[in-house]
Structures are given as C-alpha cells and as structure tokens.
Structure 1
Amino acid sequence: MAKSEVSSGRAACRDGTRIVQHLFPRMQLDELLEELQARLEAVLTARDGVHALLEAVVSIGRDLEIETVLRRIVEAAISLVDCRYGALGVIGADGKLAQFIPVGLSEEEIARIAEWPHGRGLLGLLIDKPHALRLDEIQDAEESYGFPEGHPPMHGFLGVPIKIRDEVFGNLYLTEKNGGRQFDEQDELIITALATAAGVAIENARLYEESRRREEWLDASGEIARELLSGMPTADAMRFLVSRTRHMAGASVAAVAVPDAAGVTMMVSASDGNDELTGLRVPVDRSLVGKVYTTGEPIIVNMLQGIDESAPLVERLPGGPAVLIPLGAEQVRGVVVVAKDPGSTPFASEVVRMLQQFAYQAALVLELADARHRAEQFGLVDDRARIARDLHDVVIQRLFANAMTLISVVRLVDQPDVARRVEQTVDDLDVTIRQIRSTVFALQTAGTGAEGDGLRSRITEISQNAVAQLGFTPAVRFEGLVDTDVPAGMAEDVAAVVQESLANVVRHAHANKVDVALSVTQSELRLVVADDGVGIGDGTRRSGLANLSERARRLGGKCDVRSADGGGTVIEWTASL
C-alpha cells in the first residue's frame, strides 16, 4: 500500500471519530431533554389533578343537603379519573348496603337490572376490608359474583372506603375508565384524597341536618303542646303529629296506629303521605306494629320490602328504610310509623333519637290534655247535677202547681171556648213537664259515663247530623229509662230506624218540621217520627219502610205509617220489652 493511501486512511479515521464524538453528546442531551419534558408534563398533569381535586372538594362541600352531597361526591370522582360509571354505597347497621347511588346509568338502564346491589361479592370485600382496591378486570377477582341480568358490562375497578372519623360510612366505586385505559396509582391517590374530603363533607351535612331537625323538633313540640292544651281534639292532634313527624324525618309516609279497647287490633287513626292508610286495622299478634306496642321498644328496619309480614299496613308502606316508635314511655298509647322509598338513606341514630323524644313528648302532652279534659268533665257533671236539681225541685213543681190551678179554674168557667183554651194550656204544660223530666234524666245520666254511648246520645247525634240536609234542627224528646232499660241489640235497631226515618224525610217529605219522640215503659218501646211534609204518595218507594216493619216484627212490635191530620207523615214504631 502506498504511503499516501495510509495517510489518507488515518485522516479519515480521525474525522469519523470526531464526528461520533460530536454526535454522542447531542444524543444524550436529547434524551435528557425528553426525560425533562416528560417530567414537566407529569408535574403539569399532577398540578392539574391537584387543581381538579381542590375544585371537587369545594364542590362537594358547597351544599349541606346529605342526598345532594352524596351524589356530588360520585360525580366529582368520575370527573377526576375520567371514567364512565361510579356509585356510592352507604353501609347500614346490618353491614350490608342500605343505599346505593349510581351515576352514569340512565333510568332505563337501571330499570333493566334484575337485582339491586346488596353488598355481596366484590362490593362486600370492601365492606369487610375497608381498604383501597384496584383491579384491571373485575371478573378475574375471586370474590366476584358476576353481574346480574341486565347489568352493563364493566372491566376495570377502583374502590375506596369513605370514613367519618373512625366509622366507615360507605364505599366509593368507580369502573370503566374512558379510552380503554386502566386505573393507575395516581387515580387511587386522587380518589383516596377525595374520599377523605368526602367524609368531612358528609359529617358537616349530618351536623347541619341534625341541628335543623333539632330546631324543627323544638318548634313542633311547642306547637303540639300549645294546641292540645288549648283544646285541640285528639283526632286533629294525631294528624298534626304524623304530619310533623314525616317532615322532620324526611320520610315519604308517616302514620300512627292506636289500639282498640280490647287491645287485640291496632287501627291507623291518622296518616300523612298516603291517606289510604287511615282506617286500616292491624292485629297486635304477629305484626311489627303490635310488637312495638306490647314491648314499648322501637324497631328500625333498613329495608322494609323484604319483611315477611302479611299485615295490611306494612304491605302499603314504601319498601325502603322504616322506623316504628312507641307513642309514650311507661304507658304506650300507640305506635308511630315512618317509612322512606327504596334506595333512600337509612334513618340515622340521631334521627331515631329525635323521633323518640318527640313521640314521648307528644304522648305526655296527650296525657295532660286528657287529664284536663277529665277535670272539665267533672266540673260539667257537677253543673249538670245542679241544673237537674233546680229543674226538678223548682221549675217542674211550679209548672205542676200552675197546671193544677188551671184545672181547678176550668170547673168554674162557663164559656166552652175559654174552657177548651185552658185545657189546651194544661196539656201543653203536661208535655213541657215531660220534656223537662227527660232533660233532667239526661243531665243525671250524662255524668255516669253513658254520654256518647247511650241511646239518647246516639239519637241526638243522628238528629244533629241530619240538620245540614234538612235545613233545620229536628225536635227530639225522650221519656223513660231510655239508656238503661233498652237492650244493646234493640238500641241498634232503634238507632237504625231513626236514621232511616230522617233519611226518608230528607229525600221525600220536603218538610219544615220534624218531631222525634222516644218513650220507654216497662213493657214497650215506642218511637214516633212525625213531619209536616207532603205526605206519602202512591209512587213512594216502600223498601225503606219494609225494613222498618221487619225490624219491628223481629222485636215483637209493629210499624205503622200514616198521614198526619194537618199534612205530613207519622211513623209509629214499637218494640216489646
């Protein structure tokens, strides 16, 4: 090889070495720049994530309504990790999901799901072990039960517990990260931080609701005390009680059931949220309401829908959380029932305590009102006895003396017209004396506990109820031992006859006056209903009168329907005693 060629080769090698040495530092610099750029992008992403997290924390803490706060937590979590579905499960006292709040599913998709989550399988794992859980594929987990029919497909999963102080309130579930990506460690850190802030927001919402309910409870307690002690009827007080209870508890339906005299059944005396419940009867045996009444202990149910009970009250209540509270402490007067719709938040222990205090206070006020009413009744009995004595000892004696004087005067009168007038006056005085005696007897028996239960009171009540249809008040007169000598079965028939007779007057008579006279002797009961209407026409339906005749025949009496001398109709109904 020539010397010149060797020299040129060495020169070329030196140039290549210089080129490689020149390019190598530049490649390292590019790699460093790319790494720096990646780290800057990570820092920017982390910064954006922190900003988004702070905005989410502010968003969920902006509202103090617990239901709104829970939904905002799920919506914020979905936005932070960019996924499609999210949910928040509230853990009940039984360790299962008492409430499940989904976000990302439409109403149609929710309706297609065959079974709602209860807290089993993968969801139950988070309940049993409250730690963050991240999976790339849900179906690969050993605890996975699979999805119920109608459930949309889901793959990636991220679950984080939400704690309030040391208590696990519930779990936050996220799935299906957009773009087919998987949840990473940064997503877990962000959602864990959000869950911590969510616990604070939920605690604040709870405290706010507790203070608001406490204020409502104080207002309601004061109001029911004022109304009852000022004379509010018990029926109106029960309606007020269930209305305020439902509002304070945030429930869908509230009702109060009271026992009958024998303590065998409970009847719903008032309801709010579902008027069809009023009047329902529930057996004391084998029913939740009866158990609370007999034991005096409240019952809390996280899901009423699965309760195995055939009582009509439970069947008509919403299937969500429910609380049954005794009305009264030492002496239970009834049972207050409040219920929510399925999927609602269970009743917190603070709410249950507040409802118990309100029910106890309401029962105490009812007892005070009853005591006051009894005291007033005793005073009324004394007044009635005094009036009865005055009527008997003074008024009747004077009328009787005047009647005797007029009778003696008739013998001295020569003019027939004057004598007839005097005799008519004596007859009127005799009728007046009988009416006053009937009134005296009613006043005397009113204080013996027969008021409201006796035949006199029932006929008087029937007559008063007919005033609106008649346009005037029927004249009612009693004679004899109406409340004591008439058997209970016969009293039912007599009341029915009075009801039917007055109904006939309303429908057919067009009368301006009705007289109802009931007299009782040792052997016979005689009822006369007379009106001054149009009388009985040929086209008058006789089915009602046939019923009256059948009742009289069955009791050994008869029913006579005739036209009055001055116009109108007279029904004379008798029964054998």
Structure 2
Amino acid sequence: MGECDRDELREVSEAVLAVTAHLSVREVLQTIVSAARRLLGAQYAALGIPDGNGSFREFLADGLTAEQWRRIGPIPRQHGLLGAMLHDPDPVRVADIRRHPSFEGWPSGHPEMVDFLGVPIVDGADILGELFLANKQGGSFDADDEELLKLLAAHAAIAIVNARLYERSRELSIVEERQRIARELHDAVTQKLFSLRLTADAALTLIARDPARAAAELDVVRRLAAEATAELKSIVVGLGPVDLAGDGLAAALRRQIELLERVQEARVSLAMDPVPRLPAASEEAAYRVAQEALHNALRHAAATRITVELRRTPKGVTLTVADDGRGFSTAGRQGRLGLISMHERARAVGGRLLIRSAPGEGTTVTMEVPVA
C-alpha cells in the first residue's frame, strides 16, 4: 500500500471517528466535508441539510475563502440542481454542471464550477441532505470517487440521525417530566388545597355562632396550608436541572450548548477551564443565568454568534455569555424582569452579575460565583 493510500485511509478514519467523538453535529459534518474535498481532490465541497421551508438549516462548505463567502451572500435556496438532489436518491456525476437539465445558474459572486459530483445523504427512504464536490483537480470525478463520497455521506447520515434522536429523547424527557409534575400536583397539592378551601368555608359559617369551633377549623386551615407549601417546595426541587445533580455545571452547560447547536441557526460555542464543583445552589443559579442569557440572545437579540465561557478565578468561577446581537441601552433597563431575575440569582449565592451592552454592539453577561 502506497503512502498516498495510507494517508487517505487515515483521513477516512478521522472523518468516521468524528461521528462518535464528543463534538457538536456541526463540527462532525464540517469534518466530513473537509475530508471529502481533500480525499477526492476537489476544489470545493459543501453539505446542505434542508429546513423544510425551501432553504437550508445547515449549509457547510470547504475550499471557499472568507471573501468568496461574502460575495456569494445568503445561504442558497433549494432551487436548481441543489433542490433536485433533495428529491432524487441517485448520485449526480457530470463533467459540466452547467449542462445539467436542472442547472439554473448561480449568484454573480459565486465561483465558477465545472465538473460536479453530488450524493444524497439518506436514512432509509428519507433524504436528509446532500453532499457534493466541484472542480476535480487534474481530471474528472469517476466511479471510485462516487463510491467514496457515498461512504462519507453515509457517515454524515449517522451524525444527523443521532442528533435527531438525541433531540427527540430530550423532548420525551420534557413531556414525561411535565406528566410527573401534573400527577404530583393532582395527587398531593390539589387535594390539600381542596380540603383547605372546604375547611375555610366551614370556619366562615361557624365564626358567628360557634367561635371555638371556628378557631379549631382555622387551625386546620393553617396546618393544611403548611403541608401544601411543603409539597410545592418538594416539587420545585424536582424541577432543578437533572444534569447538575450528577455531572455538575460544566457538563450541564456542555449538553445545553450541544443541543442549541443542533436546533438553532446561530453558532453557539463553549470554552471552559477545569473548574471545581460549586455548592448545589450556586451551580443552579449559574445554570439558570446562562439559560436566561442564551434565551435573550437567541429570541430577542437576533444573535448569529454566542460564546459561553466558564473560567476558574482565584476566588471562584466566572460565567460569561457574550453575543453579537442587536444589543440595548442599559440605562433604565435594569428593571426588566429577566435582568432582575439574573441579578437576584447571583446575589442569592453571594455572587455578582455584570451586564455590558449597547445598541448594535451585542451583549455580555458575566456572573462571578465564589467557591465558598
């Protein structure tokens, strides 16, 4: 086996192993796209996953410069050959893409492409996306190239299916948790509140003609109210993030970011130092602050990039969530409910919250949490 063959096998192995590594699905797919371009000697490679609305939820490319990306503009729509491949399970291999019946041209800033090889990413009868190459260096794409690209597309399908299964398992967990809470509310709290109301009604009817019995009934009201409060507290404790109890704040944040990477268009990244375990209340507060900051960035700030950092400091741990969204003027905005909640969570565990933002300049939320 030649040195070149060994290099190709190593690159295929790296691409395959990336599917099972602890990477986000976007990183796995980018690894496969880059490996496909290098292995098959193409100038350009790309992978698209449709969004169900005529465009692409993910569109990754390799071989393009930042300037070329800028000239191309927005993510392409599902038209022409890209759209046709999402409805046909057969590979497409042509010497000149411009002569294919489905070709409809490209934007003015798009690089010139001639020979083309594309394969669908399939799971059974479902087409999940497409992987394609253009401009073979030193020749044209052949049957061997097609077989290798189909292999890499199969591994891309594994990554996509795994991501969808993970998301469905999370959704099922949420549904199950809601059902559990509903059962507990019905079995415990609802019944106690019903008894409390009946007892209060009885006390009201007795207060004029039998004050002693009315007082006894009010004692029962007090006891039932205390029991209902205790039941509610126990249920609220059960609502805490499940990930925190076992693996800690760092692992919970990592899972949250991986989930957002799968379901959001914005790029969300995580950088962490090895951090010590914090008291349970501190980890819960930090996790909830991170959730609130991420929610604000994704839902209100229209951010395209969000960075979450968890750093060790001499006195404890610092959590930072920074986005490139529209930002806002902090003057007079500290009274917003979400901001109040984050400040209160930080103060409750002896920490401090800082918010930096300005219109058009994004937002940075920093929470400092002491170890002790």
TM-score computed with the length of structure 2 as normaliser: 0.46
Greater Cα radius of gyration, structure 1 or 2: 1
Relative contact order, higher structure (CA 8 A, sep 6+): 2
What TM-score do the two structures reach when normalised by structure 1? 0.32
